[in-house]
Amino acid sequence: MTINSVFENFKGKKVIIIGDSMVDSYIFGEINRNSPEAPVPIVDIKKEDTKLGGAANVALNIQSLGMEPILCSVIGDDEDGQIFMKLCKKNNLVTKGIIIDEYRKTTNKKRVIVNKDHILRIDNEETNYLKSNIRKKFINNTEKLIANNEIIIFQDYDKGVINKKMIEEINKIDHLFIAVDPKKRNFFEYKNVDLFKPNLSEILNAFDSKDDSINNLNSISDELKSKNNIKNIMVTLSNKGLVINNDSGFIYNKIQKKKIIDVSGAGDTVIALATILFYLKLPEKFIAEMCNLAGGITCMSSGVSAINLKELLENAERNNLDVYL
């Protein structure tokens, strides 16, 4: 088996992404003076940009890896919602899984970038859980789209689209491969899933722990795996790599040092890639190396962006990652 053949095996396969979607806005500018009104710098805007974020960025990563994403999310009936739908069209994402709630805000994260440095973020959002009528409509629509598909990614950003009821309803469908990128509120609600991928701070916060040692990660991931009957746990450790815990054992995989420009979206890339590699039941060492590589590549560019498959494959071959297959 070659790395190229791995990606050929799932080319065109449909993947359902359920979760909180948003618009990521960027203001690029320069600082040359301070305000006379307050002790703050003035940013002279040079360029502005908008991109799909959250679960929608996971969908773009799935698309970049050669598969067909079906995004299931809820947005508001507002200007940002209109921008979101236009961006979906621009990026050839199907919108049949998108429910519009006229009483809800579309999340917009606005980042201010000066000389490639991220100096400020302004969030305009609503994080309450969906109202019962919208939740029921969303679940029914999502279940229809799942009917003939088997790979599901829960992309939970704690913005209210996913709740315990939603998780339980999807879990009742018995033919699914379910991957989860969790956040705080629903952390322990995901049971009997195939892949659970928190980052370091998320799993430590969930267990009210400050011990970031590998031994402690082994211990608490063991506890989580047993308590919630999870097949594979992957914890990403930023520039320190990642760990994987499953029935084959526990591995810690360090990352090659790279110049990190922006970590935004790296987790979206990793959950998209890890889902497919675990679904194909590939060796854990290969999965770890590929996910570290993909996350590192994403961090080398500014702003949220999907992985470039050609760049990923070229880097994987250059690093001889096929020896782990």
Ordered per-residue pLDDT tens for the chain, 325 residues = 899 999 888 889 999 999 999 999 999 999 999 999 999 999 999 999 999 999 999 999 999 999 999 999 999 999 999 999 999 999 999 999 999 999 999 999 999 999 988 899 999 999 999 999 999 999 999 999 998 889 999 999 999 999 999 999 999 998 899 999 999 999 999 999 999 999 999 999 999 999 999 999 999 999 999 999 999 999 999 889 999 999 999 999 998 765 444 445 588 999 999 999 999 999 999 999 999 999 888 766 655 678 999 999 999 999 999 999 9
Architecture category of domain 3-31+41-324 in CATH: 3-Layer(aba) Sandwich (3.40)
Distance CA 273, CA 60 (A): 12
Tokens describing residue 83: 């921008």
Respond yes or no: is residue 77 known to be catalytic. no
CB 177 within 8 A of CB 150: yes
Q: Which residues are bridge partners to 251 per DSSP? A: 244
Q: Using DSSP, state whether 13 is helix, strand or coil.
A: coil
**What's the pTM value of the predicted model, to 2 decimals?**
0.94
CB 195 within 8 A of CB 151: no
Among candidates 52, 54, 55, which has minimal Cα distance to 92? 52
Backbone angles phi, psi at 297, to 5 degrees: -65, -45
Instruction: Specify the residue for token string 């799993």.
Output: 203
CA distances from 123 to 24, 127, 232, 261 (A): 10, 11, 33, 21
Of the residues 24, 80, 181, 268, only one is catalytic, namely 268
* DSSP at 94: B
Instruction: Specify the residue for token string 């799935």.
Output: 62
**What are the boundaries of each domain within the chain?**
3-31+41-324
